[in-house]
Amino acid sequence: MPYFEVTENVVVANATNRKISKINNAAQTIVISCLALPDSLVFVDCGVYLDFAEKFRKDMEKKFQRKTSHLILTHTHWDHILAMKIFKDVDIVVSKKGLASLKKNLKGYMSPEELLEYAEQYAAEDSVLANDIRNADLFLPNVSVKDEFRINSGEHEILFKVIGNHTAGSAHVYYPQEKTLCAGDNILECYPQLLNSNWKTMDLLHSWEEMDIEHVIPGHGKPITKEYITNILFYYDKLIAFLKEQIRHNTSLKNVLKHLELPEYFGTTQTDWHHACRPEANWLITGIEGWYKFLKKKEKESTKK
């Protein structure tokens, strides 16, 4: 169970020591964070493995000699919440939109019946995950937030802020004292950056670049620094300029993807790199295609004016 001591009061973990599933490895790469306040512990996201979440919580309570007061959910996708019952005794914080989505999904793909079918998909590849899906005890968090929520006050404070983008109810968690940002799936380390709304994604990345942070906890992968955000922005600036030029020359999407001067995403050289959390997907290509279509549409709109 790899733990990463980001700062003296911030420790994160993921389950990358488990056998990587050929179906979906989101479960192994999901990040659980522990933020230590002077008198309590705040966890951010809980992952899917029950034994993993339970051990991490116990280890952190032993390490810091403090009890847990809160679990914060950056959003309510299954891979971030399935081990919720390990934190059933504390306040669980989510955005109001995230809560509404969870209410709907608890009657849909996260209902007990659907989860049993879902578990069968994983049985051959990851029996522990399949068993944990069958034994998941999902429920509604007791604290829902429209915009912002603060835990503690003064010098040691944790800020939960609803930012949207990855999902309508996505939030980030900022610990100013430790200059640490838990970004949820609006930042990924072991996968390509997910673009959900083009310019809004860029605006969000720029806003983070301006914050007083040194450490960034992504939704999946390993802890990173603010430089990673700068690298993402630099890549997309190059990509956008390249695509605009190709669109002006009427280059087809097919030829754009084969172009020798297509900017290379910096993250592909990382040892833990995955093109997506499913073997049949390539999020990087999907992102390039998305930008191409978006910019081509904007180009057509501008020529009509």
CATH number at residue 159: 3.60.15.10
| pLDDT band with cut points at 50, 70 and 90 for residue 19 | low
pLDDT at 249 over 90: yes
Last residue of a domain, one of 226, 243, 266: 226
Domain, as residue range, for 254: 232-304
Same domain, 52 and 122: yes
Single-letter amino acid code for the residue at 42: V
Q: Please check whether residue 147 is in contact with residue 141, taking contact to mean a CB–CB distance below 8 angstroms.
A: no
Between CA 89 and CA 17 the distance in angstroms is 28
Confidence band for 24, pLDDT divided at 50, 70 and 90: low
Q: Indicate the helix (H) or strand (E) that contains 128.
A: helix 127-134
Domain total of the chain:
2
- Cα-based distances in Å from 221 to 10, 113, 185, 224, 277: 16, 30, 10, 9, 11
Model confidence pLDDT, tens digit, residues 222-242: 999 999 999 999 999 999 999
Of the three residues 197, 226, 255, the one that is the final residue of a domain is 226
Is 21 a residue whose pLDDT tops 80? Answer: no
- The answer to whether residues 56 and 13 touch, using CB atoms and an 8 Å cutoff, is yes
pLDDT higher than threshold 90 for residue 154: no
Q: How large a percentage of the chain has pLDDT more than 70?
A: 96
| 120: pLDDT strictly greater than 90 | no
Question: 87: exposed, middle or buried (C-beta count within 10 Å: 0-12, 13-18, 19+)?
Answer: buried
Residue finishing a domain among 165, 197, 226? 226
**CA–CA distance, 81 with 124 (Å, rounded to integer):** 23
